[in-house]
Structure formats: C-alpha cells, structure tokens
Amino acid sequence: MKPMPVCAMRLDGKTMLITGAGSGIGRALAVACAEQGARLLLVGRRRAKLEETRALLARPEQAMLLAADVTQAADRRVMRNTIAETFGCLDVLVNNAGVLCVGPLHGADDDELEDLLATNLLAPMALTRDLLNLLRTAERPRIVNVGSVFGDIGHPQFAAYSATKFGLRGFSDAIRRELMAEGIGLTYVAPRATQTEAAHKFDHLVAPYAMAVDSAEVAAAQILSAIRRDARNSYARGPERFFVMLQRLFPGLIDQALGRKLPAV
C-alpha cells in the first residue's frame, strides 16, 4: 500500500480531466485549477462553450479541449487515448458533468430519466473504470465525484435527481475502499444548490423551500479545497451540514419539514 499523503496536494503541473467544463461549476473549477498551475483536459458536449471556458484561463495554453459526451463509450475511449498520448498519466479525474430533472416524478418521461441516470451515475462509473490505468501511473492520483446535498437528503420535486446523487455517493464510498490499497484517493463533494445554466428549472422552488443557492465559483472553491486537502468528503458550509446529520439520525423530522412545503403544481 502506498503511504497516505500528509501534506496539501499541489496542482502545479498536475494533469486534470474535468467533465462538464463548458459551463457552471466545471467552468469555474477549470479557472480555479488553472490558477494553481494545473494542466487541463476540459471535456464537454459543446465545443463553443469549452472555447469560452478556455478564454477565461490566465494561461489558455494550459488547457486542451475535447468535445465529447461522457455517456458514450467511443467518446470515453477518445478521452483515454488523448490523455495517454498527450500526458502519459492522469493525476486528478473530476466527474462533474451532470443534468438536472426538476418537478413531480409523474412529469418525467422515460428519455429524461434515462439521460439523468446515464449522465449523473453511469458515466462517472464508466469513466472511472476506463481511466484507472492512467490514474495508477500518477504519484498521488485522485478521483473527485461531484454530488449534491440532495444525495443525502431526498428532496421532493428532485426525486429522480436525488436518486442519481444517492447512487453516486454510494459508488464513491465503495470504489474508495476498493482502490485504497493502490493509493488512489476518492473525494466526494456535495455542493448545495448552485447557479448554473439549468438553475432556472428550480427558480419556483427557492422560496417555498427556503433554498440557499451558491454561485458556481463558491462550489468550485469548495471542490478545489477538498482536492488540495485530500478530503474524503466535503459538504457546503451552512445549515445543510446540520440537515445532513439530522437526516441520518432522525429522518422523520426531515420528512415533516420538507413534505409539508410542497408547492402547488
């Protein structure tokens, strides 16, 4: 077993792959990691949005762009080959790409549910598997799975989304233990609701549920701090941490708190 790290991880010169880097948290994280000197492979479905992200970097030459869909096996092979041929290893994999489904479950069709599962849960599992050999060649490799507070607290109007984040949290715990003997770290990060391109989908729920909404930059700072600390888990600061503990100890209280606030639909 490799010795456990005892000092903060430095990103200068480290190779990082960030999925969902064309907007939101992924874009803000790319900017923050570039400032730390990381070499970036930025992945997203839309090339134009990735170009916008790269233009924000202090040194745009630090980033390679790859328009790819993490749910597609052929695209994941391209990611693997690009890293192998360009960098030779992968220090940090950030599974950030995700989609949002908001509203009563009866309003979600099969295509929406399948896309949600494929993007939020199956893709991080498959990409982690596909890139393991490249992570194994790094000195202090780390996988970062970007979840959500809704991966601990099943939230009404977010049932399917919560299910995918609960699954991602469970996968994170299991694969962390599976890879521990190889010295591959796993950090699960749970931001709270965040302002992204999809945030408008839950605008009508912010007031009824008294939701706190962070900027993408705040969420990215949380992720970056967790990476540098080699953290096991990271939860957003604020009352959400208390609610997560309450959910685990007294879930019935959360049932009453959230179940009574259902807005009219």
**pLDDT tens figures, 10-67:** 899 999 999 999 999 999 999 999 999 999 999 999 999 999 999 999 899 999 999 9
How far apart CA 222 and CA 235 sit, in angstroms, is 8
Amino acid present at 53: T
Instruction: For residues 228-233, give the mean pLDDT.
Output: 95
Domains within the chain, CATH numbers bracketed: 15-259 (3.40.50.720)
- The token pair that represents 47 in the structure block: 């090339």
Comparing 24 with 212, which gets the higher pLDDT? Answer: 24
pTM attached to this predicted model = 0.89
235-248 pLDDT, tens digit per residue, is: 988 777 777 777 78
How far apart CA 83 and CA 127 sit, in angstroms, is 13
Name which of 55-69, 162-176, 190-204 the model is least confident about.
190-204
In a 3-state reduction of DSSP, which class is residue 71?
Answer: coil
Q: Is the pLDDT of residue 94 over 80?
A: yes
Instruction: For residues 146-163, give the mean pLDDT.
Output: 92
**pLDDT computed for residue 1 by the predictor:** 43
Write the CB contacts of 133 (distance below 8 Å, at least 6 apart in sequence): none
**pLDDT computed for residue 7 by the predictor:** 60
The chain-wide mean pLDDT, for the chain, equals: 89
Q: Supply φ then ψ for residue 186, to 5 degrees.
A: -135, 125
Catalytic site positions: 161
Given a contact cutoff of 8 angstroms between Cβ atoms, the answer to whether 122 and 114 are in contact is no
Given a contact cutoff of 8 angstroms between Cβ atoms, the answer to whether 230 and 183 are in contact is no
- The token pair that represents 239 in the structure block: 């009352």
Q: Is the pLDDT of residue 206 over 60?
A: no
**pLDDT computed for residue 198 by the predictor:** 64
In a 3-state reduction of DSSP, which class is residue 238?
Answer: coil
